[in-house]
């Protein structure tokens, strides 16, 4: 069994690193999504007056949260 493992690693030298990169990308996507949801939730708790004070219309909350988290409009 150990011999197979060594042979498998020789044939695929970057398999572990590739899996790690994919896992990190998924984790980052999940973190960003959670950050987006938390931002939306927080902004939705504000009154219309508070939103007006910071220059956000209620109907633009998701757009503002998306731009804050993902860096695009």
How far, in Å, CA of 21 to CA of 3, rounded?
A: 26
More confident residue, 72 or 26: 26
Say which residues have a Cβ less than 8 Å from residue 35's Cβ, sequence separation at least 6.
69
Render pLDDT for 22-52 as a digit per residue (tens, 0 to 9).
Answer: 999 999 999 999 999 999 999 999 999 999 9
Tokens of 25: 């990308």
User: Are 66 and 72 within 8 A, CB to CB?
Assistant: yes
3-state secondary structure of 56: coil
pLDDT of residue 41: 97
pLDDT tops 70 at residue 16: yes
Render pLDDT for 57-71 as a digit per residue (tens, 0 to 9).
Answer: 999 999 999 999 999
pLDDT tops 60 at residue 15: yes
């Amino acid at each position: 069994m150990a011999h197979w493992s060594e042979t498998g690693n020789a044939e695929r030298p970057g398999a572990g690193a590739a899996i790690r990169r994919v896992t990190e990308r998924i984790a980052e996507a999940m973190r960003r999504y959670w950050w987006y949801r938390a931002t939306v939730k927080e902004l939705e708790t504000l009154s219309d007056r508070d939103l007006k004070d910071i220059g956000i219309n209620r109907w633009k909350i998701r757009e503002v949260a998306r731009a804050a988290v993902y860096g695009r409009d």
